[in-house]
Amino acid sequence: MNIDNNNTQPTIFNDIDIPKEHWNNESVRKWCKVIGIPENDILIISKHELDGFWLIFKHTSGNLEKELNDLGVSLPSSARILAKFIPPTQGTFVGKWESTQDLLKWMINRYGAPKPPANETGTEMPLMGRDMVLQDIYTKILTRYQIPNRHRDNQPLLVVAGAPGIGKTRILETIGNYLHTKKDSQLPKYQININISLGNGSNWDPYSESSNPNIALCKRVLWRYFANGHHVPFIGFCREINSMLKETTTLDFCFSAINDHLASLDPTMQQQQQILINFGIDEFQKCLIESKDVVQRRSILKAVIQSVSDLLVFLPNTRFFYNIIFSGTILEDITIIIGGYSIPYDFIPLRLLNLDEYMKISETILGTQKSNDNDIQRAIRFMGGWPRPLEILFKVVRNLTLIKYDTSNLLNRVELELNKRYPITSIEDLLPSIIVYSVTQTVIRPQDKPQMVTLPQDKLQMVIRPQDTPQPYERSFGDLQSFGFLTITSDNKVFLPLIFLRRYTYLNNKSSLLKSLHYLIQLLEKKSSWEEWENFNCHLEIIKHQSYHSLSLMNESKSYSLREYYKSALFFPPILADSTFSTKVDTLSICSFPTSRCPENCDIDQQCQDGTAIIKNDKGGLVDMFYNAKLDIGTAYFLGNVKYTDGSTATLKTKDLDLTNYGIASEHIVKKTSNKQQIKFIPIVYSNHFVTALMKNNFNDQLKKIIKITEAIIVCRGTRDNNNVPQPHDGFYYPFQDFIYKLEESV
């Protein structure tokens, strides 16, 4: 190009030119054309009147590529401009970094003093309900730290795994400060906290990074500490430092350079015998390869784990003590790799928040007035203690300027956002099977995978069929968790918050299971009443029977027991525990509303429809609901009375547990049914609140005096001890346990 100064614009451009501060927009456009920028991107540069000063300023601040892309310039063009802008000799050091001081000087000269990067989560959600997790991590680190140096070989990694948005990244971001500020901590006072991600701005590239995973991790450590705080794009950073990194550069070398910088700010660090390095690796599942070959699928993750685990081996001359935490969504792959290569690890499970915890969070975020609004409270309970959906709901509420809220409207808005993040149309055929596992709370075995199978009595229902040998191309429960469709609990069970059940039933409600579930969820969106509580229990019985029946057919017709079905019941006779429901007959699928009270004034056989219908009586019947079922011990009639108590702290009254009407109902059934074989009668009390220990004992005493009835069941929220401390017994109501008692709603 021609020689120019601040008063003249260049007239000729070459491929090696670098923009000058005095270039106007026209010069910038001409230069862009010479270096190969497409016309549509040049039009964007023209529209925003970008000049030389702007380019230089944004480049110096480390934002050039990002700013161009934000304005609409394509990624390839943004990268091309940045590449031309940075000459090969940028910085004061040319060649490979031979020492940590070489690396440090280059970074400081290139980017300036490091700035703390922003947290990946960027959430206002208070970290609640994680005290035990943080304490557990501290205990595990301290146990390792107190092992004599000579025995520190092959020490365990920590692994945090769970569904998206359950709080894994928050744990990584919090643990450093927690360890540093913990009272009476016995860990080193000085520490370095670095969390990198294989997603979220520094995505793993399987094509360019798989050949040397160790170098890929080194780049992320250096970027996170030296450049991320200056908003330097990760791709641009890698392009700049590629020529300086040796193939043998180690993570320990990178952390040593970071330590050198911190020691220059605080000379007392040089005097420390040991320094704790908290090294978190988030989104580890991103380096799994899409492959039918399970060995190939896990090969890069294996290399990453082996590279990092080397830091846990004691080196005589190091002052660093490493705490390494992997975080991601799929536990199965990482545990197989670690276990298969004799690398020890400790799994750190993250549970969902309980009702008290997420209600306290809602008050913190929304304020007392909104968090106490009945419609908002119902919507909050639909989130089921899963932090991500809760956070979405809080944003929805705060962005609305309404005088009166509506639960259904709030849930619809949350679903719109969830559907954007975790679209479910691709798994529509698997939804019933996922729901079956969630409702029954069955432990997932290694061979279990979500799959479709047609049932004889319900052409559209689907369940899970286990495979003797898992096929890698099939979706596993872990895969579905990583996609945000469900969460797997620490005891390996599927959990679905009600907002997810709502989404799934709106998409697919063709089977009797999903129809009943859809009806039940609609009930929960409304203000509750005693009548709706009766309907709730009727449809819950259908949902549970359908789910267990489906699961038993999948499991080679293995019958399900009453112990499994009425799990966690407050009152349950041990003699019934091993009795099983027959899988050779159809199960409950219909809720029947007779015009005459049953069993007093109706045809029992017709109403029960061979065990497929549950009868819901009008007010005033001997029992509120009943159904018959085939057990291995013969035909049984389950006679239910539903007790609905207002107020969140109330208990039942003694008269609510009176067994007299059950005895009278059983006599009517014996007279009216054509089935004259021996019949067993099992009363059930369904309560939305607590039962006292005294009432439970009185109930048992009554049972001993009733003719024809020898066993009975109480399913409820729980009981209270002498100190009024609640003891939960709400397993039967899972996954609706947060809804089984009435909100303190104003009229």
pLDDT, one tens digit per residue, over 664-710 is 898 888 888 877 667 889 999 998 888 888 888 888 888 888 877 88
* Joined tokens for residue 267: 């000379």
Looking at this protein, which amino acid is placed at residue 617? N
Query: Dihedrals φ, ψ of 192, to 5°?
Result: -120, 130
* Joined tokens for residue 384: 């089921």
Poorest-confidence range of 16-30, 641-655, 724-738?
641-655
Give the mean model confidence (pLDDT) for residues 600-604.
Answer: 88
The reported pLDDT for the residue numbered 467 is 38
DSSP 651: B
Distance from C-alpha of 88 to C-alpha of 78, rounded to nearest angstrom: 18
Label each residue of 99-135 as H, E or C.
CHHHHHHHHHHHHCCCCCCCCCCCCCCCCCCCHHHHH
Ranges of each domain in the chain: 25-85, 100-114+129-349, 355-421, 555-747
- Per-residue pLDDT of 199-244, as tens digits, reads 888 888 877 777 788 999 999 999 999 999 988 889 889 988 988 9
Q: What is the dihedral of CA 296, 298, 301, 307, to 10 degrees?
A: -70
Query: Dihedrals φ, ψ of 618, to 5°?
Result: -70, 170
Q: Which residue has the higher pLDDT, 336 or 574?
A: 574
Residue 731 clears pLDDT 80, i.e. is over it: yes
CA angle 495, 500, 505 (to 5 degrees): 115
- pLDDT confidence bin for 476, thresholds 50/70/90: confident
Residue 120 clears pLDDT 80, i.e. is over it: no
Residue 745 clears pLDDT 60, i.e. is over it: no
Distance from C-alpha of 573 to C-alpha of 98, rounded to nearest angstrom: 75
Q: Would you give the distance in Å from CA 351 to the centre of its chain?
A: 9
- pLDDT confidence bin for 6, thresholds 50/70/90: low
Residue 659 clears pLDDT 60, i.e. is over it: yes
Give every CB contact of residue 598 below 8 A, 6+ residues apart in sequence.
604, 607, 615, 617, 621, 626
The reported pLDDT for the residue numbered 141 is 92
Residue 316 clears pLDDT 80, i.e. is over it: no
The reported pLDDT for the residue numbered 22 is 85
Give the mean model confidence (pLDDT) for residues 451-458.
Answer: 50
The reported pLDDT for the residue numbered 468 is 36
Distance from C-alpha of 132 to C-alpha of 202, rounded to nearest angstrom: 31
Kindly report the pTM of this predicted structure: 0.78
Distance from C-alpha of 662 to C-alpha of 658, rounded to nearest angstrom: 9
Number of CB atoms found within 10 A of residue 24's CB = 13
- pLDDT confidence bin for 326, thresholds 50/70/90: very high
- pLDDT confidence bin for 464, thresholds 50/70/90: very low
Residue 461 clears pLDDT 80, i.e. is over it: no
The reported pLDDT for the residue numbered 472 is 41
Average pLDDT over the chain reads 84
- Per-residue pLDDT of 388-433, as tens digits, reads 999 999 999 998 887 788 999 999 999 999 988 888 876 777 888 8
| Continuous segment of H or E residues that includes residue 488 | strand 487-488
Cis peptide before 735 (omega within 30 of 0): yes
- Per-residue pLDDT of 518-536, as tens digits, reads 999 998 888 777 778 889 9
The reported pLDDT for the residue numbered 243 is 86
- pLDDT confidence bin for 306, thresholds 50/70/90: confident
The reported pLDDT for the residue numbered 107 is 92
| Continuous segment of H or E residues that includes residue 563 | helix 562-565
- pLDDT confidence bin for 368, thresholds 50/70/90: very high
Residues facing 275 on adjacent strands? 320
Burial 149-176 (b: 16+ CB within 10 A, else e): eeeeeebbbbbbbbbbbbbbbbbbbbbb
3-state secondary structure of 473: coil
* Exposure on the CB side of residue 157, measured as CA atoms within 13 A: 26
The reported pLDDT for the residue numbered 1 is 44
Domain 100-114+129-349 - what CATH class? alpha beta
Give the mean model confidence (pLDDT) for residues 248-269.
Answer: 91
Residues facing 581 on adjacent strands? 631
Give the mean model confidence (pLDDT) for residues 458-465.
Answer: 42
Q: What is the dihedral of CA 113, 83, 217, 290, to 10 degrees?
A: 150
- pLDDT confidence bin for 656, thresholds 50/70/90: low
Residue 383 clears pLDDT 90, i.e. is over it: yes
3-state secondary structure of 659: coil
The reported pLDDT for the residue numbered 18 is 78
- Per-residue pLDDT of 61-84, as tens digits, reads 677 888 899 999 998 898 888 877
The reported pLDDT for the residue numbered 684 is 94
Nearest to 241 by CA among 268, 271, 220, 210: 220
Which range scores top for mean pLDDT: 361-365, 558-562, 617-621?
A: 361-365
